[in-house]
Amino acid sequence: MKQAGSPTSAVDHAVAAGTVSVNANLEHAALIGLDWGTTSLRAYLFDAAGKLLAARASTAGIMNLPRSAEQGGFDAAFDEACSSWLEHAPDLPVIAAGMVGSAQGWVEAPYVEAPADTNTLVAGIVRVKAACGATLHIVPGVLQRGELPNVMRGEETQVFGALGEDTGSADSGKRALIGLPGTHAKWVVVQAGRIERFHTFMTGEVFAALREHTILGRTMTTPDRPDNAAFLHGVNIAREKGQAGLLATVFSARALGLTGQLSREQQPDYLSGLLIGHELAGLDAVLAQQQNSLKGQALRLIGNEALCERYRLALTQFGCTQAELVKHATESGLWRVATQAGLVNPAAHAVHTG
């Protein structure tokens, strides 16, 4: 069940599909939220109750601006996404998360340190004035210090979007595990509404590099549809035979092909399962150091639905059968941080309409 005031909308499927525009009732607009990453920009228009009125998506990520940053590329991308909304409501507050706040972004929002909650993020917000006159409030990323430091930028907003449903509940003080599969997969331990610590696995990027730039890819053919049997074979090889590590097992993607045990079409799914299996085995080992385990763990997954389903399948091999997919975590997170920052006031809206 959604938390009162969290974003819900008939345009959710359009947002997920990446469609560009949805008609909005601008009379009720209260907030613009931006998910601005490396390769894409998504803009969301909310009303004062957190309902999603409209959404737009473009390929104008920070590394793919319509023109260089020095020539006003960020302003151009922002105008393209939001100018029609701001023309009708020029005073709309704007909140942005993601790589737009990196050193290569519009303005750098320095990392805040873990453990971090929404108040920590709000305290670290950095503002930048757009040429059109709007002020963007950029959410900082999170830094975990230590011998092996770790960082996230953008995922913190998604995590708090997923946690929003627990706010004020009896379970809000319990420890939880949230996974964000992707190019650089994150596993985040949260407790009492705070990001306590997190782990990064470069699974997606390593898969692409191995397939495109090593001998493993030369015998692979992209299948017409996912092969779950080949995928689970890879997961279980990592789980059962992977004690020597990824480097000792990854060549099996080629050797199994040479011995006729994997077809060319099965090899990509096998390699994917092998890498994800090593990721989960590594995560399980880390959890064991904290007197925990993936077995019986109730966790949440955020990200591409097909990829999250693949992770859910892999997790069952580790005894984890309670992995819930959280949809629209980015929109919910943007709304939650904006509310905490005082950019919008849902309570006042509720009183006014009640």
Number of domains present in the structure of the chain:
2
Is 332 inside any structural domain?
yes
Query: In which band, very low, low, confident or very high, does the pLDDT at 1 lie, cut at 50, 70 and 90?
Result: very low
- Please indicate, yes or no, whether residues 92 and 223 belong to a single structural domain of this protein: no
Contacts 24+ apart (CB under 8 A), 291-298: 293/319, 294/318, 294/319, 294/320, 295/319, 295/320, 296/320, 296/322, 297/177, 297/322, 298/176, 298/322, 298/323, 298/324
DSSP string over 256-277: HHHTTSS-TTTHHHHHHHHHHH
Note whether 249 and 160 are same-domain residues.
no
CATH number at residue 228: 3.30.420.310
pLDDT digits (tens, 9 = 90+) for 143-189: 999 999 999 999 999 999 999 756 544 455 678 999 999 999 999 99
CATH of the domain at 139: 3.30.420.300
Whether residue 126 is contained in a domain is answered as yes
Separation CA 310–CA 15 (nearest Å): 22
pLDDT tens for each residue of 89-101: 999 999 999 999 9
Does residue 109 belong to any structural domain of this protein?
A: yes
The CA distance from 127 to 131, in Å, is: 13
Range of the domain at 152: 12-173+328-348
Q: Do 157 and 227 fall within a single domain?
A: no
Q: Are residues 123 and 232 in the same domain?
A: no
One domain, residues 267 and 215: yes
The verdict on residue 36 lying in a domain is: yes
Determine the residue type at 91: D
Mean predicted lDDT score pLDDT of the chain: 91
Q: Report the candidate in 11, 4, 57, 53 with the shortest Cα–Cα distance to residue 30.
A: 53
Establish if 279 belongs to a structural domain.
Answer: yes
Q: Are residues 264 and 310 in the same domain?
A: yes
**Nearest C-alpha neighbor of 77 from the set 63, 98, 97:** 63
- Note whether 47 and 145 are same-domain residues: yes
Mean pLDDT within 275-288: 97
Q: Is residue 4 part of a domain?
A: no
Please give the Cα distance from 285 to 346 (Å, whole number).
43
Weakest-pLDDT range from 133-137, 162-166, 193-197, 226-230 = 162-166
- Considering the domain boundaries, does residue 194 fall inside one? no
Residue 189 lies in a domain: no
Rounded percentage of the chain residues whose pLDDT exceeds 70: 88
Please tell me whether residues 161 and 211 are part of one structural domain: no
Q: Are residues 117 and 230 in the same domain?
A: no
CA separation for the pair 205, 184 (Å, rounded): 7
For residues 249 and 312, state if they share a domain. Answer: yes
- 32 by DSSP, 3-state: which? strand
Q: Is the pLDDT of residue 8 over 70?
A: no
On the question of pLDDT at 350 being above 60, the answer is no
pLDDT, position 27:
86
244, 333: one domain: no
Is residue 152 domain-shared with residue 254, that is, in the same domain?
A: no
